[in-house]
């Protein structure tokens, strides 16, 4: 369905750049806020009774880690983060990784994703992701790898809007 | 640079769908939260000392209104919203439009944008937007109309993450 003539590859490259530029800009914005916050500040709620900073950091790390198998890039690096930060709401689980550990995991998973992104050829971004069957993908070709980046970028932006309230 | 052979148009249509699906999903999510909030709740801050709901509603309405000239769709509908909601921070200007007016303006501007979107042909999404010169666009073809939707979608998502804290 997606062919590889030179003009089309060029158009695809433009689209890929548009999407990845937003992803990397938001990762950078998040990192800037994270570097400004102390570990104590991360223990605070973004608004009374709402999620704490440490939970948002763990949640985003776990969701980005899930992108590795979803994009067919390999196994998750931190599978133990799913239970406390995706399956459970904040404050449901008492023992969480330290802020120091989570800061390191957050950096690492985004670094690995960036490496994997840079190794993909343009056409490979338009291949199906791992949560859609080959059969469904024929009918729904928008369910490709690049679409995962679009949805995860808006997810990151949503929580960045909350995280920045801790400043 | 972007040509119109049938396979490429198909690839472009997939990309346009990916981007517009996120835009409309987030508009819908925002509308759902907005409908749940009373006018009194809109007067509250999303977190102590931070922006009020009414300011975020006005800000998003003004930013979406700005998309009309930026995308070459015509004049802004509500130019008077720029001063209180883009040029000024929250609480700097005492007299703001009522919540009722802002709710109506928010709906209207998004409706007009949706009509304009549906009238565009696929290739027209990849034409330059109005803040880039023809000369720069040759070097930076990603500065097209569709990229405006990508950046405004993450902007909407960022503030939706804050707005939902009022619930």
Residue A3 has pLDDT above 60, yes or no: no
Number of folded domains that form chain B: 1
What is the domain range of residue B81?
Answer: 50-167
Residue A9 has pLDDT above 70, yes or no: no
pLDDT (tens digit per residue) in B73-82: 999 999 999 9
Average of pLDDT values for B123-138? 95
Domain containing residue B69: CATH number: 1.20.120.450
Q: Predicted ipTM? A: 0.94
pLDDT band at B1 (very low <50, low <70, confident <90, very high): very low
Q: pTM of this prediction?
A: 0.95
Report the gap between the CA of B47 and the closest CA in chain A (Å): 5
Report how far residue B151's alpha carbon sits from residue B71's, in angstroms, rounded to the nearest whole number. Answer: 13
Is B28's Cβ below 8 Å from some Cβ in A?
no
Report how far residue B140's alpha carbon sits from residue B28's, in angstroms, rounded to the nearest whole number. Answer: 32
Report how far residue B65's alpha carbon sits from residue B110's, in angstroms, rounded to the nearest whole number. Answer: 8
Is A8's Cβ below 8 Å from some Cβ in B?
yes
Name the average pLDDT for chain A. 95
Decide if A27 is inside a domain: no
Residue B69 has pLDDT above 70, yes or no: yes
- Of A54, A53, A79, A56, whose CA–CA distance to A66 is shortest? A79
Q: Which letter does DSSP use for residue A156 in this model?
A: H
Decide if A103 is inside a domain: yes
Decide if B65 is inside a domain: yes
Q: Give CA A156 to chain center in angstroms.
A: 7
Please report which residue ranges of B50-144 form alpha helices under DSSP H.
53-70, 82, 99-119, 122-125, 134-139
Decide if B27 is inside a domain: no
Decide if A127 is inside a domain: yes
pLDDT band at B125 (very low <50, low <70, confident <90, very high): very high
Decide if A91 is inside a domain: yes
Decide if B26 is inside a domain: no
Question: Quick check: B154 and A3 CB within 8 A?
Answer: no
Closest partner residue to B22 (CB to CB) among A12, A47, A154 is A154
Is A26's Cβ below 8 Å from some Cβ in B?
yes
């Amino acid at each position: 369905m997606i062919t590889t003539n030179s003009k089309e590859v060029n158009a695809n490259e433009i689209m890929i750049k548009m999407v990845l530029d937003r992803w990397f800009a938001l990762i950078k914005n998040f990192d800037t806020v994270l570097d400004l916050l102390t570990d104590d500040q991360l223990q605070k709620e973004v608004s009374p009774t709402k999620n704490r900073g440490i939970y948002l950091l763990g949640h985003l790390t776990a969701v980005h880690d899930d992108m590795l198998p979803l994009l067919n890039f390999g196994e998750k690096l931190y599978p133990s983060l799913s239970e406390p930060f995706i399956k459970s709401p904040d404050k449901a689980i008492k023992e969480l990784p330290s802020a120091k550990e989570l800061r390191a995991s957050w950096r690492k998973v985004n670094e690995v994703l960036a490496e994997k992104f840079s190794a993909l050829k343009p056409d490979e971004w338009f291949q199906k992701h791992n949560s859609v069957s080959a059969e469904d993908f024929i009918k729904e070709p928008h369910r490709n790898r690049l679409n995962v980046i679009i949805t995860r970028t808006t997810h990151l932006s949503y929580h960045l809007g909350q995280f920045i309230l801790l400043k």
